[in-house]
């Protein structure tokens, strides 16, 4: 019997992998039998890449990429679509998805090796990656979050120039990677900040004429209020107070996000980290990046994968604490496929409650990760105080 009980050091990764694989197998089975459930968002093939492709075409023709109304990132996001533009749309989309898939798998594998995960945990992490719902959504739509994830992971490279350059690439891909700059300031990693700035300036230089439209677009996208498909923690407070009581839900959201972030920053400022582990410290801030905008879509959860790799590394040496388990549980909530949940919930709940419950699952997941990371920071502070 004891052979069927996973050792403590593998408990978190094995539990997550088991639940995700079961869900994924049901999802794959349901694809073959569409009468079992509907899943529109997983089959809007290329909807995000269509905007990138269209904006790239406008830029190639000498026009503003922001004439494409649904193109909202910073213009460096167009580099790969521009390079692929000589292909047909579906050829370019297939190439973009393939590159995104390979980069994410390479990044997660590289991170597992750098953190010295054992072979079992490394294999399980790749299995989790390939069955994680938000990652499926990234590949289905052709979103940029896969590239952003890879750049964020590779920004942990030992070489300062390479790490900084990848951070600049990440900021140019999705603007909210800027959140990592205060983390680098806290660690006094000035050279990385300098190389990130150089990389970002070089990336932006061909698009100087369009930067006013770019920043206006980014601000509008990140501050748009919308409940349908929104996974921001703000959704929980909107459901609680109502959309019209803006100050109530916005204050609670800002307090949750900012309060837990300050606690994490304070804990990091008080702790001493060796040089080898310090380069990975920025990855623990990814939940705050995922929960930063007021509008967060499913695919953004992809950038949470490195958090689980870091937790797996800790779980090899010791039992996880309450905050770490809460973060892992929050990750699981972000991984649930909405239409799998709808099918199951229809057997358990009245129809009137299913819609709100589904709307709240992923926001609750990101909220749990923020609170869990905050609890972990508090535990770190307490342990440091006891040691002194």
Look at residue 318 and tell me whether its pLDDT is greater than 70: yes
**Which residues are within 8 A (CB) of 276 and not within 5 positions of it... i.e. 6 or more apart?**
none
pLDDT score for 358: 76
* Measured CA angle at 136 (ends 134, 138), to 5 deg: 70
Q: Where are the domains of the chain?
A: 2-387
Residue 9: CB atoms within 10 Å: 18
| Model confidence band, residue 114 (pLDDT cutoffs 50, 70, 90) | very high
pLDDT score for 311: 93
Give the residue, 41 or 180, on which the prediction is more confident: 180
Q: For all residues of the chain together, what is the average pLDDT?
A: 86
C-alpha–C-alpha distance, residues 297 and 290, integer Å: 9
Digit-coded pLDDT (tens) for 269-285 = 887 665 567 788 889 99
pLDDT mean over 77-93:
94
Burial class from Cβ neighbours inside 10 Å (0-12, 13-18, 19+) for residue 223 reads: exposed
| Model confidence band, residue 40 (pLDDT cutoffs 50, 70, 90) | very low
pLDDT score for 281: 86
pTM value > 0.85: yes
C-alpha–C-alpha distance, residues 371 and 322, integer Å: 10
Digit-coded pLDDT (tens) for 165-206 = 999 999 999 888 888 998 888 888 899 999 999 999 999 999
* Measured CA angle at 314 (ends 308, 315), to 5 deg: 85
Look at residue 2 and tell me whether its pLDDT is greater than 50: no
C-alpha–C-alpha distance, residues 16 and 320, integer Å: 14
Digit-coded pLDDT (tens) for 365-383 = 999 999 999 999 999 888 8
Burial class from Cβ neighbours inside 10 Å (0-12, 13-18, 19+) for residue 86 reads: exposed
Look at residue 123 and tell me whether its pLDDT is greater than 90: yes
Hey, CA dihedral for 168, 170, 172, 177, is it positive or negative?
negative
């Amino acid at each position: 019997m004891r052979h069927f009980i996973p050792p403590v050091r593998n408990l978190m990764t094995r539990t997550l992998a088991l639940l995700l694989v079961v869900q994924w197998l049901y999802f794959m089975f349901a694809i073959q039998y569409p009468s079992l459930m509907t899943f529109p968002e997983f089959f809007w093939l290329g909807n995000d890449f269509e905007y990138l492709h269209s904006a790239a075409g406008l830029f190639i023709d000498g026009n503003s990429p922001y004439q494409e109304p649904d193109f909202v990132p910073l213009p460096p996001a167009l580099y790969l679509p521009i390079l692929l533009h000589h292909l047909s749309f579906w050829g370019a989309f297939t190439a973009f998805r393939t590159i995104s898939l390979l980069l994410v798998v390479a990044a997660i594998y590289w991170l597992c090796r750098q953190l010295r995960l054992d072979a079992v945990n490394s294999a399980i992490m790749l299995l989790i990656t390939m069955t994680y719902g938000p990652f499926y959504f990234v590949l289905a739509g052709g979103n940029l979050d896969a590239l952003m994830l890879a750049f964020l992971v590779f920004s942990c490279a030992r070489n300062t120039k390479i790490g900084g350059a990848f951070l600049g690439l990440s900021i140019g891909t999705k603007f909210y990677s800027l959140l990592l700059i205060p983390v680098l300031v806290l660690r006094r990693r000035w050279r990385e900040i300098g190389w990130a700035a150089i990389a970002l300036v070089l990336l932006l230089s061909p698009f100087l004429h369009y930067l006013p439209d770019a920043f206006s677009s980014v601000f509008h996208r990140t501050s748009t209020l919308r409940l349908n498909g929104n996974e921001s923690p703000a959704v929980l407070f909107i459901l609680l107070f109502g959309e019209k009581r803006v100050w109530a839900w916005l204050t609670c959201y800002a307090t949750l996000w900012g309060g837990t972030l300050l606690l994490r920053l304070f804990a990091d400022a008080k702790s001493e980290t060796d040089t080898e582990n310090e380069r990975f410290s920025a990855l623990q801030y990814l939940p705050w990046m995922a929960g930063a905008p007021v509008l967060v879509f499913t695919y953004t959860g992809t950038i949470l994968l490195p958090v689980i790799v870091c937790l797996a590394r800790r779980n090899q040496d010791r039992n996880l604490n309450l905050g770490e388990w809460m973060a892992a549980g929050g990750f699981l909530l972000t991984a649930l496929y909405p239409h799998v949940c709808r099918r199951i919930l229809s057997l358990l709940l009245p129809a009137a409650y299913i819609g709100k419950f589904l709307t709240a699952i992923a926001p609750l997941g990101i909220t749990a990760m923020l609170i869990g990371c905050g609890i972990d920071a508090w535990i770190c502070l307490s342990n440091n105080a006891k040691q002194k």
